Structure formats: C-alpha cells, structure tokens
Structure 1
Amino acid sequence: METIQVNTSQHVDIDYPLAGLGERIAARLVDLGIFLGLAILFFFFGSISGITNTPTILYTLIILYSAGYIFYTLVCEIFMNGQTLGKRVMKIRVISVNGAQPTMGQYFMRWVFRLVDFVLTGQVLGLIVIAITDKKQRIGDIVAGTTVIRTVPHTTFEHIAFQPVEEAYTPVFSNIEQLTDRDVELIHEVISTYYKTHNPDLIYSMATRVGKHLSITPPPEMNQLDFLTTVVKDYKQLTSKVD
C-alpha cells in the first residue's frame, strides 16, 4: 500500500495511505451526482411553479447554479478541511505533501489547474498523472504541493477504542492531568497505526515524548506499548472522575 509520511505536531511520523485513483474517481462521481440531482430538482419544481417560463429568473438561477458548480470544489476544500462532499463520503482529503494543512493559496492553485487536468483534456490528463506519479498527484497537486490521502472521520475522545476503565481501577502514573484530549487522541492514533504497520519506531518515539512531557520513567517490566496504553487508561479514569 502506497503511503505518505506525515509529521504530527508532536514530531511523530505517521504513514497515511494515499487515496487511490478509484477512490478519487468515486468521490468525483458523488460530487457530480449531487449537481445532477440539483439540476433535476430545479427543472422539475421550476416547471411546476412556472419559474422556467420567466426568462429573467431562469437566467439568474442558471448563473447561480453554474457559479456554484465552478467554485464548489474550491469552497468546499477550504471550509471542509480539504474535502468535498464526495471526498467526505469516500473518506479521503487533500493535505500538503509535508503533512500540514494546505493554505488557501495551495487550494486555489490546485483548483485553477482543474482546467488542465480535467476541463481542457476531457477528464483524462489528470487521471493519467494520478496513476503514474509516486504520490498519486495530478498536475494541480504537483504545482500546489498537495496530495490526497485516505482518512477517517475526526476521532473524539469518546470514540477511542480502548476497553472502558474498571470503576475500581487505580491510576498508575501521576501528572496525567497535563495531557489534553488531543494528546490522548494522538497516542491512540499512534497505537492504531502500529497495529496496522507493525512499525515499533512509532511506539518508541511516542513513549519517549510522553515520558518526557509527564516527567515519567516507566518501570522496567513495562514495555513502551503497555506504557502508552496505561497512560490512556489513567487519563480516562481521571476524566471520568471530573465528569
């Protein structure tokens, strides 16, 4: 599986799988389906209400519809964290190749190059370039310094996939209150990625950083994976008492 390495805010490298050509085509079809459905509804209700018989109103609605279609991708990616509705359905999104959130300039650049990738080349050139490039980039992505990765909906703390902490559970470590929900989400993400990739460096790196941040030295009998899992359980116990 082709991946791109993303450096998190905690300076931990996580490999995210790149979105495949099929997923990007499917996302595009979903977006086109939305506009096709809107067009059908427009003409259906327009015919019933008689709006289509009034040229001024008809032309205005056509202009608004066309503008929405043209700027749809740009607006959605800027305000929906690199996703259109189709990308959200397919669980993929645009990121910068350095792992950062793309800037408005990057979104704009890849949107402008849709003319080259799709409009002027019959939807063909962009698909060919995606298929042959290492980072699955179309020309707009190459120019803008972006690519598209597979993702999942944002994980909230309540969704973290650890067993509920027993009511009588006694926290092992102190200073856990120094962590935030986002810190624990990241720890969980690293653990989940480890089980998928079997890359122990992720666990070693995260355990080292968490230990330094909390000024904790795990006991000799506790490996790094157990340490991170225990930290999460301690945090869950702490927050459950606060709630």
Structure 2
Amino acid sequence: MLDTVREIETPEGISLRLRAAGALPRAQAWMLDALLRMGVFMLAMIPLGLLGVGGNGLAMLLLFALMWAYSVACEVWLDGQTLGKRALGLRVVNADGTPVTWVPSVVRNLLRVVDVLPGVYGVGLVCTLIDPHARRLGDIVAGTMVVHAVELPAGTQVPTVAAIPPPVVLAADEQAALVEFAERSGQLTLQRQEELANLLLPLTGRRDTAAVSQLIAHANWLLGRA
C-alpha cells in the first residue's frame, strides 16, 4: 500500500496535509513495539519467577498491561506515538487531524483482535489496501488514522523577505505566535490572513495585505534573517 495524502481544511481556514502511513511502516512499528514488550516481560520474569504463585499473578497483570494498556497510554500521553511509532516517525491522530484521545484510542486498540484475524493481520492488511487512507478496521471504526509525523524546525516554512525588527520588544510567547502565523500564512486564504493581521494593528500600524507583509517581515527578523 502506497502512502496517501489526506487534505483537511480546519474551521480557521488552514489546509492540513496528512500523509497516511501505509502497511509496511506500520508493520515495522508494530514489530518494534512487540519486541520491546517482549523484552520488558522477559526481564520482569526474572524477579517475578522467584515469588512463586504471587509472582505468576503479577506476571499475568504485567502481560495484560503490556498487551492492552501500553498502546493506549502511549497514544494518549505521548502525542499519538508508541515507542515503535516514534522510531518510525509515525503518529496516530483523529481523522480530522486533531490529537487522539482516550475513547478513539481504546476503540482502535480493542478492535485489533478483529484486524489480526485470521492471522498475521489478515483483516487489517486487506483494509489498508482498500481504504483510501490506509486505515485498518480499528481506525475506520474509531475515526483515527496513522500518519507520518515529520517535524520541521520552527520557522522553516516562513516566507523569506527583507527582515524588519518589531517596533516594540515582544515576549517569548508573542514571538512564537508571530512566527507561527508567518509559517502558516501560506496555508490560509488571503482574507483569513488579513483578518488575523488586522488584529495586530497597534504593532504594524497597517491593515490588510500591508499588515500581513509587515508581520512576515517581523517574523524574519525574529528568526535572525538579514
């Protein structure tokens, strides 16, 4: 299954391009997670094996946690990434591009028992080959998808223009917001760019397209560009 791109427009008018992960990178991430869980369990069995019946009970609890709780906890607490997915640069998100939450994560992982049928993820593989966004059955039901999560350094996508220093000293969060606006400007409609830029009239002293250009110039200065 080749990786595909899903384009989503947010209520703010931002166009998000999510590159869905195909079956091969997902299988590789699953194998890494499986090896990690197996290693943790085998190491834990060394001391637990010395505890007799009580140790066996604890071992069963640990096995349950590794099989079922591991993926859900990682996806919710580690920004949609198990350790295997992080190593492969993958992330689980909701179908609209928002971070995955508890209920969708639980659903997609519970339905893994269906995706694995009749063996070696037969159902899941067929679903990823048929679905336009390479989703297995669990993702389709939960409303989630696995995407490539390549992170670009902050400011990489800011258009390069002549830098102009801001007329006032900006706090760190204000600088970050200004750079983020400039970085996403190419994904916004012109009307939305102007609407947001006009909110900063006290900073730019300009309106509409001139205000947008001024903010992008300020962002270039904050990024240390000449």
The TM-score normalised by the length of structure 1 is 0.70
* CA deviation vs aligned residue, 1:138-163 (integer Å, no higher than 9, x gap): 111111111111113586xxx43389
Native 8 Å contact 2:9 2:16 kept in 1:
yes
What whole-Å deviation, never above 9, does each CA across 1:119-177 have from its counterpart, x for those lacking one? Answer: 6644221122112210111111111111111113586xxx43389xxxxx642678977
Q: Please give the alpha-carbon distance, in whole angstroms, between the structure 2 residues aligned to 1:137 and 1:105.
A: 17
1:101 counterpart SS class = coil
**Alignment correspondent of 2:208:** 217
| Code of the aligned partner of 1:117 | D
RMSD: 3.6
Matched, 1:208 2:194: yes
C-alpha distance in structure 2 between counterparts of 1:55 and 1:128, whole Å: 44
**Pairing 1:79-94 to 2, within 5 Å after superposition:** 79-94=77-92
**2:22 counterpart of 1:63:** no
Shift in Å, 1:205: 6.2
User: Counterparts of 1:1-243 in structure 2 under 5 Å?
Assistant: 2-8=4-10, 10-43=12-45, 46=46, 51-69=48-66, 70-118=68-116, 121-153=119-151, 159-161=154-156, 170-171=164-165, 179=174, 181-182=176-177, 184-185=179-180, 187-188=182-183, 190=184, 202=188, 204=190, 207-215=193-201, 216-219=207-210, 229-236=216-223
CA distance in 2, matches of 1:21, 1:135: 11
SS at 2:76 equivalent: helix
- Are the structure 2 counterparts of residues 233 and 55 from structure 1 closer, same or farther at C-alpha, using a change threshold of 3 Å? same
Separation (CA, whole Å) in 1 of partners of 2:134 and 2:167: 44
Change over 3 Å in CA distance of 1:52–1:179 after alignment to 2: closer
Structure 1 residues 62 and 11: CA distance shift in structure 2, 3 A: same
For residues 75-109 of structure 1, give each alpha carbon's deviation from its aligned partner in whole angstroms, at most 9, with x where no partner exists: 21122222111111112111111222333221121
Identity of aligned residues (%): 22
Which amino acid letter does the alignment assign opposite residue 155 of structure 2? I
Q: 1:95·1:149 contact (CA, 8 Å) conserved in 2? A: yes
The Cα shift of 1:11 comes to: 2.9
More deviation in 178-187 or 142-151?
A: 178-187
Distance 1:12 1:205, change over 3 A: farther
- Contact 2:7 2:17 survives alignment (8 Å): yes
1:22 positional shift: 1.4
Counterpart Cα distance in 2 of 1:142 and 1:57: 40
CA distance in 1, matches of 2:25, 2:176: 31
**Structure 1 runs not aligned, ≥5 long:** 164-168, 195-200, 238-243
Q: Call closer, same or farther: CA 1:139–1:162 in 2, change over 3 Å.
A: closer
Q: What is the aligned partner in structure 1 of residue 204 from structure 2?
A: none
Structure 2 stretches lacking a partner, 5+ long: 202-206
